[in-house]
Amino acid sequence: MSIIVQKYGGTSVATPERIRCVAQRVIATKRAGHQVVVVVSAMATETDRLLQLAKAVASGGHPSEVDVVASTGEMVAAALTALALQAAGEKARSLLGFQLPILTDTSYAGARILSVNSAPILACFESGVIPVIAGFQGVDEKGQITTLGRGGSDTTAVAIAASLGGASCEIYTDVDGVYSADPRICPKAVLLPEVSYRFMREAAGLGTKVMHDRSVSMGMRYQVPITVRNSFNDSHGTAIGNKETSVSCIALDSNIARVSFFGSERIALIPKSSISGLADDYKQQILFVDDEVAKVSVVGGPLTINPAYHLPTMVGNLNDHDVPCLATSAGPLSLSFLVPKTSATDAVQLLHSLSHSHQEAI
């Protein structure tokens, strides 16, 4: 009997009605002959609300308490999903990160998973109970609750699939799969039916938030077959595996700031969430912080063969369309352009039209 880990994101469990729909899909999968493990995120916007609440009470407290607050969103969603499954006639139980446990390091707000104890999940299978696991959370060696970083429930799901050996992982979200750009920003984006771990790891690391970047690295390392699908319909979605394809996509990261230091020509790009920590540690050395920027990247195989991807040509193309390019960089499978935040949408659409016209020509 195959094991499928199904992860449902925030919009997929946003309302009681949506949670009942999730329960129906889980039950249909079970009745088709699979063992199902469910992983849920907090209901949509709940984590933002919880983090704001913690900030409103006191900023600067110990980050482990903020993680306790943030983790409660998934606790509620897991229990509600278990209740919905029970109401539909199935045996189900919620399992929180510390109950398995999912052991992590102590990097609060961005903890890394060290190990997963799958014994309670196997015990659920034995007794015909559907396990519903709270995503995004773990526990460190001191017994403190940790969280895995924003979007981290994907990583919980892939880690659980890896720990079960031979399991596959379905990531249910609010779009049909991985597109050639964020479909909410680029109306011409097309669905990519199949991409490689390598491609997806690069895209996720550069801001494609449909998958948490660590979840893709983990899937690659433990060879977990991953599918990204829409929880609102039955589309096939995007399969992520070893096979390299020639697709490309445009990634956008609006969550960064550029920082420059006295006496150095170098400009560092850092996540906005790290600015206050950096300011505390390097107050004297910081020359300026600019968070009105965005990084737009072209990711994918054709980079190596298409002359249109020649860096100066692309910068010229952006400039011709009044998109100033403040800096460029290259990764193993990508070219990135730093642009003013106000030009980010234009840059995504322009780079998409360049890369997509090439794909049609192949």
Q: Please, are residues 155 and 113 in contact by the beta-carbon 8 Å criterion? A: yes
CB of 271 to ligand ASP, least distance (A): 14
Which residues 40-69 are close enough to bind ligand ADP by CB under 6 A?
Answer: 41
CB of 332 to ligand ADP, least distance (A): 18
Q: Closer to ligand ADP by CB, 6 or 41: give it.
A: 41
The string of DSSP letters for 160-186 reads HHHHHSS-EEEEEESSSS-BSS-TTT-
Q: Is residue 20 close enough to count as binding ligand ADP by CB under 6 A?
A: no
The string of DSSP letters for 15-54 reads SHHHHHHHHHHHHHHHHTT-EEEEEEPPSTTHHHHHHHHH
Q: Is residue 149 close enough to count as binding ligand ADP by CB under 6 A?
A: no
Q: Please, are residues 223 and 241 in contact by the beta-carbon 8 Å criterion? A: no
Which residues 170-199 are close enough to bind ligand ADP by CB under 6 A?
Answer: 173-175, 178-179, 181-184
**How many angstroms separate the CA atoms of 231 and 21, rounded?**
9
Q: Closer to ligand ADP by CB, 144 or 152: give it.
A: 152
Q: Is residue 151 close enough to count as binding Mg ion by CB under 5 A?
A: yes
What residue 152 binds from ligand ASP, Mg ion, ligand ADP, none (CB within 5 to 8 A, per partner kind)? ligand ASP
Return the range that interacts with ligand ASP (CB under 6 A); candidates 23-31, 58-66, 145-153, 166-174: 145-153
What residue 178 binds from ligand ADP, Mg ion, ligand ASP, none (CB within 5 to 8 A, per partner kind)? ligand ADP
**How many angstroms separate the CA atoms of 111 and 109, rounded?**
6
**How many angstroms separate the CA atoms of 144 and 222, rounded?**
27
CB of 126 to ligand ADP, least distance (A): 30
Question: Between β-strands 286-290 and 238-241, what pairing exists: parallel, antiparallel or unpaired?
Answer: unpaired
What residue 73 binds from ligand ASP, Mg ion, ligand ADP, none (CB within 5 to 8 A, per partner kind)? ligand ASP
Identity of residue 143? G
